[in-house]
Structures are given as C-alpha cells and as structure tokens.
Amino acid sequence: MSRIVHTFCPNTVYPVLPRTCTNSCIAARYARGLLDVSMPAKTLAAKILVVDNRRFLRDSVCSLLADQSDWDVYEAENGEMALDRIQEVEPDVVVLAVMMPEMNGLELASRIRHLAPGTRIVFMSIYYTPQEAAVITRLFGGNFIQKSDLGTELIPTISRLLPKGS
C-alpha cells in the first residue's frame, strides 16, 4: 500500500496526506483503502514528486502513483515550490511537466540536477518538438512521456529508474 508520509515526532514516521492534498484526493485515497493513519509506516518507501501547474493533471498523476506499493507521492504546482519540496523530502524521482509558467521543466530539471544530483527526472508533455525531445534525451537521459501515455508508461518508467528493492 502506498503511503504519503511526513515526520512529526522524532524517530516516528506516520502516514498522512501532504498539505497540498485536496478533499477529492483524500476521498479517493480513503475509498481505495490507501488512507490509514492509525499505524506507523515500517519501511522507507521510494519518494516521487509530481510537478505540474495544472491541478487536475497533478491530482490525476498523484492518484495513479498512489496505487503503487511502497511509493510516497508528493506534489508541487510550480518550479519554485518543487525546489523547496526537493530540499524537504529528497525525492528519488521527479515527474515534471515540460511547459510551465515562470520556470519551465528544462530549467527546473537543470536546477534539480545541481541541487540533488541523484534524483531521477521524468518529463511529461502534451506539446513538444523533436528538437525538445532530442535535448531532453541528450541532457537528461530521455525519460520523456507524452501526457496521453501516462496511464500506460509512467509506472514502468518510474519503476525502471528506482533502485532495486524500492
């Protein structure tokens, strides 16, 4: 069962929802049996950060990923918030949109690479050119998924990027 965790008390990690989780997000996790705050988490799960300025897509991706066992899912709505979350939670994988206002995905990925070099990055986009895909492949390893293919390609891509046993 996937859990969203934050540390509140020293040496105890409790499964709870992130501050940015909406009521519909809470209801969906509860309905699927993914919300259980009565028991402390026993193992450290892989941490996945989802970054997109569109709330609906961000919630959809978080919901898809929350179904995975041993994955903790966090979210951010823009590049600046993502950089703060990266320092806070030290994610294993960041799934981010290429096109975002203020700081686009390529700029954010470059800053992530300097801030947290071990963090793997997966890009998602509706609109992209072959040149953008080539730049992403050359600079960031080619982990690029069209948003229309997220339902089938995102989980296998993240699983491939995670260390064995995560």
Q: Which pLDDT tens digit goes with each residue over 86-135?
A: 999 999 999 999 889 889 988 999 999 999 999 999 999 887 777 877 77
pLDDT tens column, 43-67: 578 999 999 999 999 999 999 999 8
- For residue 122, what are the contacts with CB-CB under 8 A and spacing of at least 6? 93, 94, 95, 96, 143, 144, 145, 154, 157, 158, 161
Mention the CATH class of domain 44-161: alpha beta
Q: CB–CB of 99/105 below 8 Å?
A: yes
The pLDDT value given to residue 106: 87
Whole-structure pTM value: 0.71
pLDDT surpassing 60 at residue 37: no
Q: Regarding predicted confidence, which is higher, 165 or 8?
A: 165
**pLDDT over 50 (residue 5):** no
Instruction: Give Cα 137 distance to the centre of its chain.
Output: 20
pLDDT mean over 5-18: 40
**What is the structure's pLDDT at 91?**
96
The domain limits of the chain are 44-161
The predicted pLDDT at position 111 comes to 95
